[in-house]
Chains A and B, each alone.
Chain A
Amino acid sequence: MNREFVQPPLRGVAKWIDERLPILTWAYNELVVYPAPKNLNYWWNFGSLAGIMLTIQIVTGIVLVMHYTPHASMAFDSVEGYIMRDVNWGWLLRYLHANGASMFFAVVYIHIFRGLYYGSYKAPRELLWMIGVVIVIVMMATAFMGYVLPWGNMSYWAATVITNLFSAIPLVGETIVTWLWGGFTVANPTLQRFFSLHYLLPFVIFALVFLHILALHQVGSNNPLGIDLTKKDKIPFHPYYTIKDMFGLGVFLLVYGFFVFFAPNAFIEPVNFEPANPLQTPAHIVPEWYFLPFYAILRAINFDILWIIPAKLGGVIAMFASIFVLFLLPWLDTSPVRSARFRPIYRQFFWILVLDVLVLGYCGAHPPEGWYLTVAQIATAYYFLHFLVILPILGKVERPLPLPKSLDEPVLAGGAAPSSR
Chain B
Amino acid sequence: MVRTVLTRIALALAVAGLPAAVLAAEAEEPPARSWPHEGIFGRYDRAALQRGFLVFKEVCSGCHSARYLRFRDLEGIGLDPDTIKALAAEYTVQDCCDDAGEPFERPALPSDRFPPPYPNEQAARASNNGALPPDLSLIVKARAGHEDYIHALLTGYEEPPAGEQPPREGMYWNRYFPGHWIAMPPPLSEGLVEYPDGTPATVEQMASDVTQFLTWLSEPTMEERKRTGIKYMLFVLVLTGLFYAYKRKLWADIH
Contacts and interface: CB of A to CB of B under 8 A. Distances in A.
Interface of A: 1, 38, 77, 80-81, 84-85, 91-92, 95, 157, 160-161, 164-165, 167, 177, 184-185, 235, 239-240, 243-244, 246-247, 249-251, 253-254, 257-258, 260-262, 264-265, 268, 270-271, 273-274, 278, 281, 283-285, 298-299, 302, 311-312, 315, 367-369, 373
B6 A278 contact: yes
Interface in B52-69: 67-68
Contact of B240 (A251, A281, A312): A251
B15 A299 contact: yes
Nearest to B22: A283
B24 to A, nearest CB: 4
A176 to B, nearest CB: 13
A249 B240 CA distance: 8
Q: Is the interface of A mostly helix, strand, loop or mixed?
A: helix
Contacts of B7: 160, 164, 167, 177
Given A270-B143, A283-B178, 13 more contacts: A81-B137, A157-B10, A235-B254, A240-B254, A247-B244, A250-B236, A253-B236, A270-B142, A274-B134, A281-B13, A283-B20, A315-B15, A367-B21
A373 B15 CA distance: 12
Interface in B202-255: 218, 220-221, 224-226, 228-230, 232-233, 236-237, 239-240, 243-244, 246-247, 250-251, 253-254
A164 B226 contact: no
B254 A274 contact: no
A260 B224 CA distance: 12
Contact of B254 (A38, A184, A298): A38
A19 to B, nearest CB: 33
B162 interface: no
Contacts, number: 147
A95 B239 CA distance: 22
Interface of B: 1-3, 6-7, 9-11, 13-17, 19-24, 40, 67-68, 73, 134, 137-138, 141-144, 146, 178, 218, 220-221, 224-226, 228-230, 232-233, 236-237, 239-240, 243-244, 246-247, 250-251, 253-254
A91 B221 contact: yes
A247 B6 contact: no
B36 to A, nearest CB: 16
Contacts of A239: 250
A64 to B, nearest CB: 15
16 contacts: A38-B254, A160-B7, A184-B1, A185-B2, A240-B250, A243-B243, A243-B246, A243-B251, A247-B240, A250-B239, A261-B230, A273-B141, A283-B21, A283-B178, A284-B24, A367-B19
